Structure 1
Amino acid sequence: MPTHTGKALFKYAMTAKNTFILALIMLAIGVAAELAGPFLARTMIDDHMLAIERPFYETTVPNEQTVSYDGRYFKRGDRFAEDEVKGQEVRILQTGTSFVFVDEPVTQTDGDRTYNSGVLAIEYNGRTDQYSAVKLAPKELFAFYKPELPGIITLVGWYFAFLAIAIVMEFGKTYWLQSSANKVIQKLRVDVYSHIQRLPVNYFDNLPAGKVVSRVTNDTEAVKDLFIAVLANFFSGIINMLGVYVALFLLDVRLGFICLFVVPIIWLWVVLYRKFATKYNTIIRSRLSEINAMINESIQGMSIIRIFRREGQTKEEFENLNNDYMNHQNKMLNLNALTSHNLVNVIRSLAFAIVLWYFGSAQLTGAGIISLGVLYAFVDVLGRLFQPITGMVNQLAALDSSMVSAGRVFKLMDEPGEDVTDGGMPRYKGNVEFKNVSFAYKKDYVLKNISFEAKQGQTIALVGHTGSGKSSIINLLFRFYDPQMGTITIDGQDVTTLPKQWIRQHMGIVLQDPYLFTGTIASNVSLGDQRISRASVEKALADVGATRILQHLPKGLDEPVVEKGSTLSAGERQLISFARALAFDPAILILDEATANIDTETEALIQSALEVLKRGRTTFIIAHRLSTIRNADQILVLHRGEIVERGSHEELLAQGGRYYQMYRLQLGAAETEAQPQTAGPVASRTAVNPT
C-alpha cells in the first residue's frame, strides 16, 4: 500500500473542504449541546434538589423565594441580598427517607445520621452531635422545595433546547458529511477512469480486465465507505472524546486526569489491530479482484468452456478462489470478535470502578471529596466517553479495509500515464518510413533492424507466420510502444517528437474481430464524434456496401448494439467497422486481416469499397490470406522479426522463396504445380482466390 495514501485521501477530501468544514462545525456544536445535559443535571442536583440542606435563615419579608413554616418565614442563605438581615439559622436534613427540621445551626452535616424521638444524631470521626428536630410532613417538605421549582423548570427547558440543537446538528452533520463524501468519490472515480484512459497499452497486457474493473468499482466503493461511515464515526468520536475530556476537567481536574489512561490504550489498540488487519484485508481485496477477473473471463469465454466441457474445472478454480477469500474473511471476523466490544466493556468497567472506588467511597463515608451532583454528572459524562469509542471500534474493520482499497486505487493512479495534449495537427500526407528499427517488449528483440518506406497512397502488406513481428510494427506505428533503436517518421518528422494523440488523430484501423460498443449502429460508426454527421454515417455505410445487408434490421441505423454486437453477424460487424474507418477519413489505414471473418459474398461486396477506402491513403494490411494482397504495392515478408523478402506479389512468386511457399500451401499444391515458378505474369493470371 503506498505510504502516501493518507495524504492522497486528504487531498481529495480538500476538494469538498467547505462542506466538510461545515459538517465538522455542526458536529462540534452538536457535541457541545449534547454534553450540556450532564452539566444541567449537576446544577439541578447540587443547586436545587440537594441544596435544600443548605442553611436557611428566618426573614420578615415574604416573597416567591421564601418558605412559610410554623408561622415563620425562611429563605435559603445564598439567596439573601447584601443589605438583607438574616435571622435565626435553621437546617433541613435528610435521615433515611425522611427530612427533619432543626431550629438551630448544625456544625457538621457529613456523617451517619439517625433520628429518634425528636433527636437528630450525627456521628462523624468518632464524635456524635445531637440536635432537637421535628420530622416534616410531605406537604411541609414540599413547601421548602417550592422555591426551587422555577429553577428546575428553567433547567429542564434548557435541556430540551440543547437536545433540539443536538438533533438538528446531527442531521446537518450527517447530511453534509455524506454529501461531501459522495462529491469526493465522484471526483475520485472520474479521475481513476480518466487515468485508465491514459495508461499505456502495455499496462493491460498482463492485467486482467476484471482486476481493473474491481479497482474502479469495488475499491472506490470501499473508499466511499471510508468517507461516509468510517471518517464520520472517527471525526464524531474524536470530537466527542475531546468534548468529554473538556467536560471531565471542568467537572473535576482529578477525575479528568484519572480517566486519561483510556487514550494510550485506544491508540495501542488501533496500532496492534491494523498490524494484523492490513495483512488480511490486502489478501481479501486481492482475492476479490481475482474473483471478478475470473467471472469476467468465464462470461467472455462461456462458449469455449462449454464446447470443451471445462465447466467442472472452471467451477473448481472458482471455488478455490472463493474458499481462500472466505478463509481470510473468517480470520478478519475472529480478529474483530477478539478486539471489539469485549475490550470496550473491560475499559469502561475499569474506568467506572476506579472513579466509584476512589470518589464514591469517600462520598459514602462522609468525607465529601466531591458533591453528589458532580459525581452523577461525571459518571454520566464518562459513560458518554465510551459511546464514541464503541463507534470507532465498530468501524476499525471498515477503516482498515477502506485504507487497503484506497491504497490499491492510488497504486493504480501512480502508474505513469501518457501525457494528454490538447489540440491537434493538420491531416498529414501519410509518408511512413522505418529506419533500422529494433524493438523488444521485454528482453528479446521481436523486431530487428526493420527498414522500409511507404509513400502516400501506397498499400503495404505484412505477411509472416505467427510471432514474426507483423502486429509489433503496427503497435510501433500507433505509438503504443516506442522502439529501442532506430526511428519512425511520418512525412519526414520523427513520431517521438509528436504527441501520440495528434498522430492517432489521422489513423484508422479495422480489426479481424471488430469491437462494437453498446449503443446503436450509427453511434458505433461515429463513436459519438460531433464532427461526423448523420449523413456522413449513412454515406460511409453505403460506400462499404452495408446498406443492403443492414436494411433488414427493424430500426435501421438506430438498431441497438449490445454486448459487443453479439446480435449481429460477423460480416455485419465487420462492415460497421469498415464504415467507421471510412467516416473518420484517416491518412493512414491499418487493416488487420479485415476480411478473414467475412463470407465470400460479403467479401466480394467490400472489395470494391476497400479500393475506395484505400484511395489516397497509406494502407498497411496484416494478411494471412495472401489472395487479398495481390494488388499491394509492396509486400514485406517477416520471419522472426526480420524482413526476409520484399516486393510485389509477382516479384515474390518469381523469387520462389518463403512467400512462394506460403502461397503454394494456401493455393494448393496441385494448382501451383501447373504454374512456372519464374513466370510472374502467368502466375498472376492463373492465381485465383483460394476461397
Structure 2
Amino acid sequence: MLAIAIGTELTGPFIAKRIIDVHIAGIEKPWYEVNAGAVDSVAYNGAYWKRGDRIQPNEQVKEARVLQVGRDFVFVPGGIKEDGERSINLKADGALELLITKNNTVSKYNAQQLMKEQLFAFYEPEIGSVIRLALISLALIAVSALFSYGQRYWLQASANRIIQRMRDDVFAHINRLPIRYFDNLPAGKVVSRITNDTEAIKELYVTVLANFFSGTLYIFAILGAMFLLDIRLALICMLIIPVLVVWIIIYRKFAANYNRVIRSTLSEMNGMINESIQGMPIIQSFRREKKQEKEFEAFNKRYFDYRNKMLNLNSLTSHNLVGVLRNIAFIALIWYFSGISLGSVVGGVSLGVLYAFVDFLNRMFQPIVNIVNQLPNMEQAFVSAERVFVLMDEEGEDVSDEKMARYKGNVVFDNVAFSYKDGEPVLKGISFEARQGQTVALVGHTGSGKSSILNLIFRFYDVDSGSITIDGREIRGIPRQTLRSHMGIVLQDPFLFTGTIASNVSLNNPAITRDRIEKALRDVGADRSLSHLPKGIDEPVIEKGSTLSAGQRQLISFARALAFDPAILILDEATSNIDTETEAVIQDALDIVKKGRTTFVIAHRLSTIKSADLILVLDRGEIVERGTHDELMAVGGKYYQMYELQQGKKGAGQSRTSGSSTSVGTPAAVL
C-alpha cells in the first residue's frame, strides 16, 4: 500500500511537467501550414496551421513560429534559425520586428502580434489533453489518498496488536518469574515497564518506523525521479543522505543517555507513588508527608531537568537543521540553473523540468522533517524496549497445565539448607516429618526461619541442599503450579481482589460452584459476619477489601482455602490481626478446615497451637526443640519460656533476667 501510495503521488510532477512542456510551452514548437479541416489545426490569417510534432516530416512545408516575448506572443512566418534573447522592435511603418540576440549576433524576423482570441485559438487544441491529464492526476491523488489511509490504518492496527501481545507476554512472564525476582524490584517499577514502557514502544511502530520506512522509501523514490529528470542535480541532492545519517548518529549519542535517565526516573517515581499509596496510613500517622514530598520532588526535578535537556537537543537539531539543508539544496539549484539557459540549447532544461525538480525538492524535505521529528520518540522507544526486554530476558518457568491426583500430604524435610543470599543461610539442616492429617506448628522469634520453611513447601524458592518430599516424591520434580494445585494458604494480612466476596472465595475458578462457596463460608463461620451486607456474598469488594473489617477479610481468606479443598494447608499467623471474638470463631472453624489435611501453622500466640500434633521451635535457622505442647512444657526449655512469658507468669521475669543466650527477649520480640 505504501509503495502504491508513493508511486501514484510522485506521478504528479511528471504530469505537471508534461502539461507545461507539451501543452503550454509546446506552443513555441514549429507550426506548419496544413489543409483546411485537419485535426488539431488552427486557423490564422486565412491559413491552417498545425504543430510540427503532430504531423509527418514529409508534410512540413511552410513553417511558422509562435513565440513569447515578455508578456506578449507573436506569430513569426517562416520560423527562426536559432533561439536566444528575444525583444520586439516597432519599425517606422508600424510593422513589428522580432530581434533575437545570441553571441552578440542579432537576427531580425518579421512578426505579428497575437490578440487574446488568436492566442487562445493556438491553445485550444491542447485543452482536451490538459483536462484529461488533470483528471488522471486527480484520480491518482485519490488512489494515493486511499492507499495512504489503508497503509496507516493497517500499520497502526498491527502496532496495536504487537503492543497488546507484548503486554500479554510481559504480564505472563511476570507470573513465570520466581518470587526471588520481586524481592529487590518495587511493584511500581514493574507496573511502569508493563504500561509506560510498552506504550513508548508502541510509538516506535505507529510513528517512528512508519515515518522512517515511508520517509526513506519516499526519499529514494524522489531521488530516482530526479535522476530521470537531471542526473547532475540528483547527484547534488544525494549529498543530503550522508548528512542525514551522520546527523542521526550524533543525535542518538546524546539522546540515548538522556532517555535512559528519563525512563528510569519515571519508573522510580511510579515505584515511590505506589509505595506511598500503600503506606499512606503510616506516612500520615508518623507525619512523614513533607518528607515524602521532598523525596518525590527530587525525582520530579531530575525528570524535569533531563526533559529540558532533551528539549534543547531537539530544538537544536530539528527544524533548524532541516531548514539549513533545504536552503543549501535550493542554493545548489539556483547555482546550477544560473549557468545554463532555459530552452532547447545544449545543457539547458525545460520549464517543465525546472518545475518538476523544484516540486520534488520540496516533497523530499517533508519526509526528512518527519524523520527528524521522530528521533526523540525513536530513542525513547529504544530505551523503553531495552528495559522491557531486560525484564523479558529474566529466566522464568512456564506455567504448567499438568494435572495430578490429589496427594495425601505426607511432607518430609531431609537435612534442608536454604539462603536468600549467598553466604547468609537462613535454614540449616532442617529435618522433620509431617503426616497426613497432622498439624505442625512453627514457632520462634522473628528471623528464625519459620516463613522460609513455608516458602520452600510452596516452592516460592528452592532448597540449596537437602530435599523436600511429598508422599515420597521430590517436589523439585513437580511443576510449581501442579504442586500448588493441592495447597492452600491463609496469610496474616489476607489479600482480596477487586470483585465480589464470592469471586474472592472461588477466585473465578469454574470448578467451584456457588453452593460450594456458600458452604465454605458457613463452615468457617463467615456467614454470620457477612449476613448484614446489602448484597450478601455478592457484595462488591474494592482493592484489597478496604471496606471490610480485618476479621471479615480473614474469614473470607479461610473460606477460600477451604473451597479449594487443599491436601496441605498453611496458616501464616492467620489469627494475629483479628479480634478475640473472631479468633474464637476461626478456632472453631479450624477443626473443620484441618480435617484430613496436613496443616502447617505459624503462630505467635502460642495458646492457639496447644493442640498441634508437632511443634517445631526454631532459632537462627535451626530446630532447637520439637514435640507436643505438653512435652515441650515438661522440658522447660525455650518453648516453656516463650509460653510463660506470654501468659505473664513469674517465670517469665526470671527467664528474661537469667542471661541465658537462648532467651527470647522482650515481649515485643515475641508479639
TM-score by length of 1: 0.92
Query: What letter corresponds to residue 506 of structure 2 in structure 1?
Result: S
What residue number does 1:527 align with?
A: 507
Q: Which amino acid aligns with 1:246?
A: G
Among residues 24, 48, 55, which one is paired with 1:49 in the alignment?
24
Q: CA deviation at 1:582?
A: 0.3
Partner SS state of residue 362, structure 1: coil
Is the 8 Å Cα contact of residues 95 and 115 (structure 1) preserved in structure 2? no
The residue that corresponds to 2:539 in the other structure is 559
Q: Deviations over 1:371-407 (max 9, x none)?
A: 1111110110111000111111111111111111111
Matched residue type, 1:521: I
Aligned to 1:581: 561
Q: Give the letter for the 1:381 counterpart.
A: F
Alignment correspondent of 2:394: 415
Task: Check whether the contact 1:110–1:368 (CA below 8 A) recurs between aligned residues.
Answer: no
Matched, 1:298 2:298: no
> Which residue identity lines up with residue 82 of structure 2 in the other structure?
Q
Paired residues of 1:430 and 1:491 also in contact (CA < 8 A): yes
- TM alignment of 1:209-224, pairs within 5 A: 209-224=187-202
Among 340, 350, 367, the alignment partner of 1:388 is 367
- Indicate the SS of the match to 2:583: helix
The answer to whether residue 226 in structure 2 is matched with residue 248 in structure 1 is yes
Secondary structure of the residue aligned to 2:401 is coil
Distance in 2 of aligned mates of 1:399 and 1:202? 33
SS at match of 1:207: coil
In 1, Cα distance between equivalents of 2:215 and 2:338: 28
Q: Give the Cα–Cα distance (whole angstroms) in 2 for the partners of residues 674 and 292 of structure 1.
A: 51
| 1:51-81 residue CA offsets vs partner (Å, 9 max, x unmatched) | 1111111112423411111101111001004
Q: Are 2:253 and 1:275 aligned? A: yes
| Structure 1 partner of 2:476 | 496
- Does 2:123 align with 1:145? yes
- Give me the whole-angstrom Cα distance separating, in 1, the residues matched to 2:131 and 2:292: 73
Contact 1:360–1:375 (CA<8 Å) still a contact in 2?
no
Partner Cα separation in structure 1 for residue 257 and residue 652 of structure 2: 66
The question of 1:120 aligning with 2:98 is answered: yes
> CA shift at 1:111, angstroms?
3.2
1:601 aligns with 2:575: no
2:327 to 346, 349, 354: 349
Cα distance between partner residues in 2 of 1:45 and 1:157 = 16
Distance 1:64 1:673, change over 3 A: closer
Residue 73 of structure 2 aligns to a residue in which SS?
A: strand
1:226 deviation in Å? 1.5
Secondary structure, counterpart of 1:50 in structure 2: helix
Question: In the alignment, is the contact (CA less than 8 A) between 2:33 and 2:50 conserved in 1?
Answer: yes
Find the aligned partners of 1:358 and 1:85 in 2 and give their Cα distance.
Answer: 39
Does structure 1 residue 289 correspond to structure 2 residue 267? yes
How far residue 359 of structure 1 moved from its aligned partner, in angstroms, is: 2.4
Match of 1:190, as an amino acid?
Answer: D
In 2, the alpha carbon distance for the partners of 1:166 and 1:307 equals: 65
1:404 partnered with 2:378: no
Q: Deviations over 1:323-343 (max 9, x none)?
A: 000000000000000000011
Pairing of 1:162-201 with structure 2 (within 5 A)? 162-201=140-179
In the alignment, structure 1 residue 59 sits paired with structure 2 residue 59: no
1:605: Cα distance to partner? 1.2
CA separation in 2, counterparts of 1:108 and 1:504? 98
Q: Does 1:236 align with 2:214?
A: yes
Residue 301 (structure 1) shift: 0.8
Residues 133/170 of structure 1: CA separation in 2 closer, same or farther (3 Å cut): same
Residue equivalent to 1:473 = 453
**SS of residue matched to 1:436:** strand
Superposed, 1:38-117 pairs within 5 Å as 38-81=13-56, 85-117=59-91
CA distance in 1: counterparts of 2:398 and 2:49, whole angstroms: 88
Runs of at least 4 residues of structure 1 off by over 4 A?
A: 364-368, 671-675
Aligned residues with identical type, % of pairs: 59
Match of 2:406, as an amino acid?
A: R
Give the distance between the partners of 2:654 and 2:351, measured in 1 at CA: 117
Q: Size of the alignment, in residue pairs?
A: 651
Measure how far apart 1:674 and its partner are: 13
1:526/1:537 contact within 8 Å kept: yes
Give the superposition deviation at 1:672: 7.1
Work out whether 1:372 is the aligned partner of 2:351: yes
Retained in 2: the 8 A contact 1:363–1:372? no
Gaps of 5+ in 2: 656-669
Alpha-carbon separation, structure 2, partners of 1:626 and 1:395: 65
Is 1:459–2:434 an aligned residue pair?
Answer: no
- Cα distance in 1 for residues equivalent to 2:399 and 2:189: 24
Instruction: Please tell me whether the aligned partners of residues 469 and 475 of structure 2 are also in contact (alpha carbons under 8 angstroms).
Output: yes
1:537 equivalent among 517, 529, 532: 517
1:42 corresponds to which letter in structure 2? K
* Contact residue 342 and residue 350 of structure 2 kept, 8 A: no
- Counterpart position of 1:637: 617
CA distance in 2, matches of 1:373, 1:115: 29
Change in CA separation of 1:86 and 1:452 when aligned onto 2, cut-off 3 Å: same
Distance 1:280-1:672 versus aligned 2 partners, 3 A rule: closer
Deviation at 1:615, TM superposition (A): 1.2
AA matched with 1:220: T
- Conserved? CA contact 1:282–1:404, under 8 Å: yes
The whole-number CA distance in structure 1 between the counterparts of 2:347 and 2:373 is: 39
Q: Distance in 1 between matches of 2:143 and 2:417?
A: 73
Q: Which consecutive unaligned segments of at least 5 residues does structure 1 have?
A: 1-25, 676-689
Deviation at 1:431, TM superposition (A): 0.6
Cα distance in 2 for residues equivalent to 1:448 and 1:360? 91
Matches within 5 A, 1:148-163: 148-163=126-141
Given residue 373 of structure 2, which amino acid in structure 1 is its aligned partner? N
Residue 241 (structure 2) aligns with: 263
Q: Distance in 2 between matches of 1:419 and 1:169?
A: 42
Aligned mates of 2:338, 2:357 — CA distance in 1: 11
Q: In 2 relative to 1, CA 674–238 (structure 1 residues): closer, same or farther, beyond 3 Å?
A: closer
Provide the rounded CA distance (Å) in 2 between the counterparts of 1:351 and 1:632: 89
The equivalent of 1:13 in structure 2 is none
> How high is the TM-score relative to the length of structure 2?
0.95
- Report the Cα distance in structure 1 between the residues aligned to 2:557 and 2:99, rounded to whole angstroms: 106
Tell me: CA distance 1:673–1:99, structure 2 relative to 1, closer, same or farther (3 Å).
closer
Whether contact under 8 Å (1:112, 1:124) holds in the other structure is no
SS at match of 1:552: coil
Give the distance between the partners of 1:452 and 1:85, measured in 2 at CA.
Answer: 117
- Show the counterpart of 2:550: 570
* Conservation of the 8 A alpha-carbon contact between 1:469 and 1:641: yes
Give RMSD over aligned pairs. 1.7
Aligned partners of 1:331, 1:463: CA distance in 2, in Å?
A: 56
Q: Give how far 1:356 is off.
A: 2.1
Say whether the 8 Å CA contact 2:342–2:351 is kept in structure 1.
no
- 2:497 matches 1:517: yes
TM-aligned CA deviation for residue 368 of structure 1: 5.1
Distance 1:559 1:339 in 2: 58
Deviation at 1:154, TM superposition (A): 1.2
- Letter aligned with residue 398 of structure 1: N
CA gap of 1:673–1:122, structure 2 versus 1, over 3 A, is: closer
Question: Which range moved further: 472-481 or 253-262?
Answer: 253-262
- Residue 355 of structure 1: CA displacement? 1.7
1:618 aligns to 2:593 (yes or no): no
Residue by residue over 1:605-632, the C-alpha shift from the partner in whole angstroms, topping out at 9 and shown as x without a partner, is: 1212101111111111011111111011
* Residue identity in the other structure for 1:537: I
Report the CA distance between 1:344 and its aligned residue: 0.5
Alignment partners' CA distance in 2, 1:489 and 1:115: 115
CA distance in 2, matches of 1:399, 1:504: 43
Which residue in the other structure is 1:12 paired with?
A: none
2:666 paired residue number: none
